């Protein structure tokens, strides 16, 4: 056995599970508000915007944390194709967690909407108003959100695959609750 830690650092685990809850909540709010023609719509929109910015801040913190606390190595006996899938899906997850809030913020800017976080707390526009840019970004926001949900499902299924079938400690490296490092 390697002497290296076989678990993610505590900070990595906290960030992972916090963001797991926030990102999933965000995806369900997003898909739900786009299909709500009622009072619920405004309530969901009012949560969606500040939550998106919270995720953007957290993913930036998480990337820095990942550089300071690299993840434990994957099991040596994992097939190359699974290794590739694991690395590629993590790059996609990180990219989408950055992109979705940035596209959302840019799209509201291009639409000329005020970008409200809480009450009088606003964000400045990232882009000048432009009809075509707005329409394109709005569509991109939806496509990227579906892609994030699909990538999450693969990630979730892969975690269960590690935990239930391979039983190689990969799930436990993130989902183990025993104290200490």
Partner 1 sequence: MPDNLRDSTSRRKLSTTAVLARLLVIGVVALGVAAVFAYAGGWLSPDRLTQARVITAFEEVNGPHPGFRRNHAKGICATGWFESNGQAASLSKAALFAPGKVPVVGRIAFAGGMPFIPDEPNTVRSLALRFLPAGAEEWRTGMINIPVFPVATAQAFYEQLLASKPDPATGSPDPAKMQAFAADHPEFVAAIDIIKKRQVSSGFADSTYNSLNSFRFVNSAGASTPVRWSTVSLQPFVAAPTGDASADKNALFDALIAEVAKHPVQWRLVITVGQAGDPTADATLPWPADRKEIDAGTVTIDKLSSEDDGPCIDVNFDPMVLPSGIEASDDPIPSARSAAYARSFTLREGERKVKPPSAVTPQEVSSVDKS
Residues of the shown chain interacting with partner 1 in the complex, contacts defined by CB under 8 A: 1, 6, 27-28, 31-43, 45, 75, 77, 111-114, 119-120, 122, 129, 131-132, 134-136, 138-139, 149, 153, 156-157, 160-161, 164-165, 167-169, 172, 176
Closest to partner 1 by CB, 28 or 64: 28
Smallest separation (angstroms) from partner 1 to the CB of 60: 26
Place of tokens 């000048």: 128
Closest to partner 1 by CB, 102 or 171: 171
Q: What are the tokens at 21? A: 């809850």
Smallest separation (angstroms) from partner 1 to the CB of 154: 8
Closest to partner 1 by CB, 27 or 53: 27
Cα–Cα distances in Å, from 64 out to 15, 60, 94, 111?
11, 6, 12, 32
Cα–Cα distances in Å, from 37 out to 40, 42, 124, 140?
8, 9, 28, 22
Closest to partner 1 by CB, 94 or 149: 149
Closest to partner 1 by CB, 67 or 114: 114
Smallest separation (angstroms) from partner 1 to the CB of 61: 26
Cα–Cα distances in Å, from 9 out to 13, 37, 166, 171?
6, 44, 22, 14
Smallest separation (angstroms) from partner 1 to the CB of 163: 9
Buried b (16+ CB within 10 A) or exposed e, 153-177: eebeebeeebbeeeebebbebbeee
């Amino acid at each position: 056995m390697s002497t290296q830690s076989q678990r993610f650092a505590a900070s990595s685990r906290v960030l992972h599970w916090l963001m797991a809850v926030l990102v999933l909540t965000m995806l369900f709010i997003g898909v739900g508000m786009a299909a709500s023609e009622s009072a619920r719509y405004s309530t969901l929109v009012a949560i969606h915007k500040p939550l998106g910015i919270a995720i953007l801040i957290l993913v930036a913190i998480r990337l820095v944390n990942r550089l300071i606390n690299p993840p434990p190595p994957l099991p040596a006996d994992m097939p190359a194709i699974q290794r590739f899938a694991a690395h590629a899906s993590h790059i996609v997850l990180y990219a989408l967690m950055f992109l979705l809030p940035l596209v959302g913020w840019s799209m509201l800017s291009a639409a000329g909407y005020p970008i409200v976080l809480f009450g009088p707390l606003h964000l400045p526009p990232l882009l000048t108003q432009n009809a075509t840019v707005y329409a394109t970004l709005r569509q991109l926001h939806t496509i990227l959100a579906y892609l994030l949900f699909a990538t999450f499902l693969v990630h979730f299924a892969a975690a269960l695959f590690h935990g239930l079938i391979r039983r190689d400690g990969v799930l436990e490296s993130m989902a183990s609750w025993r104290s200490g490092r």
